[in-house]
Structure 1
Amino acid sequence: MKKMEKVKVLLFVDRMRTGGIQILLVNLLKVFDKKKYSFDVLMLDDGTDYPMEKDIIEAGASIYKLKGIWINTPIDYIKYKKAVSAFFNEHHDYDVVHMHSSSKNFLILKYAKEYGVSIRIAHSHNTDFQTHNRLKIIIGDALKKQLIKYSTDCLACSKIAGEWLFGEKMVEDGRVLVIKNGIDIEKYQYNQKVRDDKREELGISDKLVIGNIGRFVRQKNHDFLIDIFSEIKKIEPNSILILAGIGELMNSIKEKVKGLGLESDVLFLGFRSDVNELTQAMDLFLMPSFYEGFPVTAVEAQAAGLPCVLSSSITDEASILDETVYVDLNQSAAYWAEQALKCIGKSDRKNSYETLKSKGFDITDMAKSLENIYARED
């Protein structure tokens, strides 16, 4: 490890499409100590330049892409292998490689080792693969051993995320370090004026506001979310649902909303940079996801003092405030609606800063934990 120079860190993520991992990386880059560390971000290339790539650069990191490399079939690994090798042959002065991806990208750590990178981090952010292709899942499971083999450090955002990628035994043996996903807690603290202004801006000042923030993908279970809201609407006619996010299933969800006659009651807000203000405007945060490694948006909602109703498939580590409730996805939409309405009004939207900080959700504390690993002399 260099003594007088900055520690050089390469962060890897598949792509900078808007998502929880990508937002987390940008936020971390904003608070990392740039006097001691320099950062590059490496990603694959699906043919799209995403707006968040600009955020990475503005946060002080350089971007590299493996041009033309995207993994859809086993044959793609041939080109991928050559591209990764060529990258490290040209850029072989990293002290740390920190991979924010699942096992399919184990080659990043394999070649990092071959080119002398002493600290190689595999970081689990999920509890399932982002595909339903059976072959891809089988391959992904098989490659988990390779990922572990070439890692010096195994990190996870939650215990169940660690168990999924690295195995229960590694978690039990203490070979997986759980570092909670952090947020800028102060930014999300409840503010009555912000709440009033945002509700007025959205035209929902007199409404009971149910909210969800997340990409429109199967994982987030928007289809069931709409069913739940439909049941809430039957009980509380003055309620409205706001959905922030983008994704490939957005149009099909819009069609479902139209079919249920809820077009004027569901607001599709698209990608938003004002999530901290949107959480102020809500009265309840609803997240019936099929799975989550660790839902940062649920942490943000609780930082704003919101009561949250989460699916029981989400780790209980996401429960920070007493007002957070878990419901099984096998329960009916009507049951979910009943439980959700019971939560409304129970929270006094109290200041939650000390609670979240004491439980390890401060983004600055998360950055320091990672820096302690980056600075280690192996």
Structure 2
Amino acid sequence: MAKIKILHIIKSLGRGGAEMLLPETLKLHNKEKFEFHYIYFLPWKNQMVEALTEAGANVNCFEAKDNIRLILQYKKIIAYCKEQEIALIHCHLPWAGFLGRLVHKKTGLPVLYTEHNMQERYHIATKTINKLSFNSQNLAFGVSDDVSNSIKKNIKPNIPVKTLLNGVNTNSFVRTSDSKVRKELGIPDDAIVIGNVAVFRFQKRLVEWLRVINKIREENPNVYGIIVGAGPLEEEIKEEWKRLKLQNVVFFPGLKTDVKPYFEAMDIFMMSSSFEGLPVALLEAMSMECAVVSTDAGGIKEVVRNGKDGLTLPVEEWRELSEKLTILVQDIAKLKKFQKAARNRVKESFSLQRMVGELEEYYVEAVKL
């Protein structure tokens, strides 16, 4: 029986949440039934290419310096689909979505689209094009109910919109050993380490994150921090880091493809975000038994039930994160309880195996149409 050939289209393969899900899902897909191809457009954002290739993917970069040039690659995409006998296209995020919809109109190939963000957060041009083109595809997924409802409210599409919750490979993201990262960074063995893994964008509120760490350290000097990632606001964030004199307390390892050693160094995963879809890093941290203290932005509240799986509070009350952290920092038994609860939650409801199984069912259904 011939394999069903799936083409994923995404703007970049850097280390964002949407991008890093691709190699993780590929590891679990049925390779006897499906063959997977990936096309991206920003050659300098290629951190996930090696992981995809190792997992058996066909990866190609069709270089495009801006969004207009990206859209103009549609003829190359059509030629690639014909040459490789692609049966279905799966696009991620708006600009890849716009391109996939154009290919759909020209060829009739089935196109599925995954939306990772709230429509309200996009630039007016992106929102407008999204609304105008959205029905030129077969099916859309929101990564959380919040994201799906945002599509329905703002776009009012005629095509089906389903919620397909992000997942994490709970067999891969397992805490296994003492942290080498702590030793490398010079963090004391008895310290409580609070961490985050994020792209340095405004919605992550990492300046505020640093202020929370500074606040809790007034009474708990054994608290340290790690922020893994990079991004456009790095200079602004590090200026605040210096202003607060946290250089020997909060560490910035930079952009990392393998984040598991950093999760192993963390006791608590803290997010101060103003908005989110459903953050993959949160699911990974929970699978790695990091207790969660977070704002309830977007899909976070669908994952973390306050007081049961972690501690959350409303987005606008981010300053009170320090009080939530203090509860765990000063009560190790409670900290351990929430660490176990975090892993149990993702194992029960947010496993990547469940997500991949659902996705393959949608692929088969779409190809039959």
Shorter chain as normaliser: what TM range?
Answer: 0.7 to 0.9
2:148 corresponding residue in structure 1: 162
Give the alignment partner of residue 136 of structure 2, picking from 134, 150, 154: 150
Are residues 1:99 and 2:91 paired?
A: yes
Contact 1:311 1:328 in 2 (8 A): yes
Q: How far apart are 1:31 and its partner, in Å?
A: 1.6
> Distance in 2 between the 1:367 and 1:332 partners?
34
1:108 corresponding residue in structure 2: 100
How far does the alpha carbon of each residue in 1:131-154 deviate from its partner, in whole angstroms, 9 at most, with x for none?
A: 6xxxxx222222223343112111
Contact 2:294 2:321 in 1 (8 A): no
SS in 1 for 2:316: coil
Give the alignment's Cα RMSD to 1 decimal.
2.6
Contact 1:295 1:318 in 2 (8 A): no
Q: How far apart are 1:129 and its partner, in Å?
A: 7.2
1:134 corresponding residue in structure 2: none
> Distance in 2 between the 1:157 and 1:23 partners?
14
1:208 corresponding residue in structure 2: 192
Contact 1:305 1:347 in 2 (8 A): no
Are residues 1:255 and 2:253 paired?
A: no
Residues 49, 122 of structure 1: alpha-carbon distance in 2 compared, 3 angstrom cutoff: closer
Between 262-271 and 308-317, the greater mean CA deviation after superposition: 308-317
Contact 2:135 2:159 in 1 (8 A): no
Q: How far apart are 1:111 and its partner, in Å?
A: 1.5
Are residues 1:235 and 2:225 paired?
A: no
Q: How far apart are 1:283 and its partner, in Å?
A: 2.1
Between 180-189 and 212-221, the greater mean CA deviation after superposition: 180-189
> Distance in 1 between the 2:361 and 2:318 partners?
46
SS in 2 for 1:206: coil
Contact 1:9 1:98 in 2 (8 A): yes
SS in 2 for 1:330: helix
Contact 2:11 2:95 in 1 (8 A): no
Give the alignment partner of residue 297 of structure 2, picking from 313, 334, 342: 313
Contact 1:303 1:353 in 2 (8 A): yes
Unaligned runs of 5+ in 2: none
Q: How far apart are 1:103 and its partner, in Å?
A: 5.9
Q: How does 1:270-309 map to 2 (within 5 A)?
A: 270-309=254-293
> Distance in 1 between the 2:159 and 2:324 partners?
37
Contact 1:144 1:166 in 2 (8 A): no
Q: How far apart are 1:228 and its partner, in Å?
A: 0.7
Give the alignment partner of residue 372 of structure 1, picking from 352, 361, 366: 361
Contact 1:294 1:314 in 2 (8 A): yes
Partner amino acid, structure 1, of 2:54 = E
Partner amino acid, structure 1, of 2:295 = S
Kindly tell me the number of residue pairs found equivalent between the two proteins. 357
Q: Percent identity?
A: 24
> Distance in 2 between the 1:266 and 1:55 partners?
29
> Distance in 2 between the 1:206 and 1:299 partners?
25
> Distance in 1 between the 2:272 and 2:218 partners?
19
> Distance in 2 between the 1:255 and 1:169 partners?
39
Q: How far apart are 1:5 and its partner, in Å?
A: 1.2
Unaligned runs of 5+ in 1: 132-136
Give the alignment partner of residue 70 of structure 1, picking from 66, 82, 85: 66
Between 271-280 and 237-246, the greater mean CA deviation after superposition: 271-280
